[in-house]
């Protein structure tokens, strides 16, 4: 699971040209604008990632003017997003560890303190635009689709050493999955399973293409126990339609067969059989660190535009054949979100 709030060490402080009251602090692969003199290199701090939704409490009140949000789903709080100060981007929030009494006993780098501080993920837009009648949590074989950002785990780059890898386009839409198991056919959003009652836009899309029958035929023909297909739904009305589409499109990025993620070739073959589209594959290579050795190199690689001109969200990098990664306790995979995209769209 993504660590929205964690204890991290600041490894570098840099001045901001022309700024008297603020400076840059670097943590993991991120940079944050902080008050001058607030931190020094090697200090421990609480790092809050972008997309975090912070609760109402005194320590966060300074964010009220820029970040306060209130809605029927998450209630009141402060949403963190990429911001720019004096020409520098700030990606998240750094606060001194000593500000939080409940963390007195916490001093281990990497400790997840999201639950202790009441921090949740901001994802209201997806629930509003792609919802439906909720009938349960995600089925057992439908994992959350959050990818680890390389800035949060820079060492993931070295985990690709010697591996065949592929880079796919990160499509800017809403995560949805379908699956078949002993309990039947399932359609889900990012967090919940939905009912087929005409109130889920994705379920309507699935019905319009006859995907359920095609997947059931494949499931039976191959004598499977379970199959799950996950993809990004992009369409007018979702995420401001930055791909500039005229009709819904679903781009598959993961297929799991009998509980295991399949490799690139098998994913492409299954999609061809079911008449589904995969996410665009931009590059296939070997030994990622030799070509993109740093976070900065990958950020440059992530920049670009979608075919119709919208700013590309970024890229996702995976081994051609799945490899388990102890660092993230999951199949090796990481995303690189373009800073240019974040500045333009957030």
Separation of alpha carbons 82 and 76, rounded Å: 20
Tell me what pLDDT residue 128 has.
41
* pLDDT of amino acid 220: 95
What the block records as the tokens of 85 is 């100060």
Query: For residues 145 and 232, what is the distance between their CA atoms, to the nearest angstrom?
Result: 10
Neighbours of 11 (CB within 10 A): 12
Cα 288 from Cα 293, distance rounded (Å): 7
The per-residue pLDDT for 326 is 87
Using one digit for the tens of pLDDT, what is the confidence trace for 123-140? 644 444 446 788 877 777
CA nearest neighbour of 231 among 320, 171, 314, 305:
171
Burial readout 116-134 (b: 16 or more C-beta within 10 A, e: otherwise): ebebbbbbeebbebbbbeb
Exposed/middle/buried for residue 27 (C-beta within 10 Å: 0-12, 13-18, 19+): buried
What integer pLDDT is reported at residue 104 of this predicted model?
84
Question: Angle 211-221/264-274 helices, nearest 10 degrees?
Answer: 120
pLDDT at 344: 74
What residue ranges do the domains of the chain occupy? Answer: 5-122, 126-345
Tokens of 97: 């560890």
pLDDT digits over 49-60, tens only?
Answer: 988 999 999 999
Q: Give kind and range of the element (H or E) at residue 188.
A: strand 184-188
Strand 277-278 to 249-257 pairing:
parallel
Measured at the CA of 238, the angle between CA 234 and CA 240, to 5 degrees, comes to 110
pLDDT value of residue 309:
82
Counting Cβ atoms within 10 Å, is residue 113 exposed (0-12), middle (13-18) or buried (19+)?
buried
Residue 194: CB atoms within 10 Å:
22
How is residue 61 written in tokens? 């009140």
> Half-sphere exposure of residue 241, counting CA atoms within 13 Å on the CB side?
10
Query: pLDDT (tens digit, 9 = 90+) per residue, 156-207?
Result: 999 999 999 999 999 999 899 999 998 899 999 887 888 888 888 889 999 9
> DSSP H helical segments within 173-210, as ranges?
201-209
**pLDDT at residue 93, rounded to an integer:** 96
- How many CB atoms within 10 Å of residue 220? 10
Tokens of 244: 């500039």
Fold classification of 5-122 is OB fold (Dihydrolipoamide Acetyltransferase, E2P) (2.40.50)
Tokens of 114: 């999201």
Q: Which CATH class is domain 126-345?
A: alpha beta
pLDDT in tens, the chain (346 residues): 678 999 999 999 999 988 889 999 999 989 999 999 999 999 999 999 988 999 999 999 999 998 998 877 788 999 998 888 887 889 999 999 999 999 987 889 999 999 999 999 886 444 444 467 888 777 777 877 778 999 989 999 999 999 999 999 999 998 999 999 988 999 998 878 888 888 888 899 999 999 999 999 999 999 999 999 999 999 888 888 889 999 999 999 999 999 899 999 999 999 999 999 999 999 999 999 999 999 999 999 999 999 988 889 999 999 999 999 988 878 999 999 998 888 877 5
């Amino acid at each position: 699971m993504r660590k929205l709030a964690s204890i991290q060490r600041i490894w570098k402080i840099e001045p901001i040209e022309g700024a008297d009251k603020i400076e840059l602090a670097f943590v993991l692969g991120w940079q944050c604008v902080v008050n001058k003199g607030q931190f020094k290199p090697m200090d421990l701090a609480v790092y809050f990632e972008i997309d975090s939704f912070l609760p109402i409490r005194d320590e966060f009140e300074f964010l009220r003017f820029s970040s306060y949000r209130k809605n029927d789903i998450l209630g009141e709080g402060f949403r963190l997003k990429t911001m720019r100060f004096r020409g520098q981007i700030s990606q998240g929030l750094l606060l001194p560890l000593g500000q939080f009494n409940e963390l007195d006993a916490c001093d281990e780098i990497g400790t997840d303190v999201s639950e202790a501080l009441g921090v949740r993920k901001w994802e209201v837009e997806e629930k509003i635009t792609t919802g439906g009648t909720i009938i349960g949590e995600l089925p057992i074989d439908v994992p959350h689709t959050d990818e680890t950002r390389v800035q949060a785990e820079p060492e993931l780059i070295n985990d690709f050493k010697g591996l065949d890898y592929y880079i796919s386009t990160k499509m800017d839409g809403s995560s949805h999955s379908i699956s078949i198991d002993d309990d039947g056919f399932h359609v889900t959003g990012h967090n919940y399973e939905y009912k087929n009652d005409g109130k889920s836009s994705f379920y309507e899309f699935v019905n319009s293409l006859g995907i359920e029958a095609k997947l059931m035929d494949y499931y039976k023909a191959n004598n499977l126990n379970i199959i799950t297909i996950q993809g990004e739904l992009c369409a007018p009305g979702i995420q401001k339609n930055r791909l500039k589409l005229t009709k819904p499109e679903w781009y598959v990025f993961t297929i799991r067969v009998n509980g295991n993620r399949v490799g690139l070739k098998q994913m492409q073959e299954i999609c061809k059989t079911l008449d589904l589209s995969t996410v665009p594959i931009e590059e296939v290579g070997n030994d990622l660190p030799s070509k993109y050795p740093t976070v900065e190199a990958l950020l440059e690689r992530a920049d670009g535009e979608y075919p119709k001109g919208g700013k590309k969200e970024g890229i996702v990098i995976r081994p051609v054949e799945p490899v388990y990664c102890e660092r993230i306790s999951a199949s090796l995979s990481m995303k690189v979100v373009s800073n240019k995209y974040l500045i333009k769209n957030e």
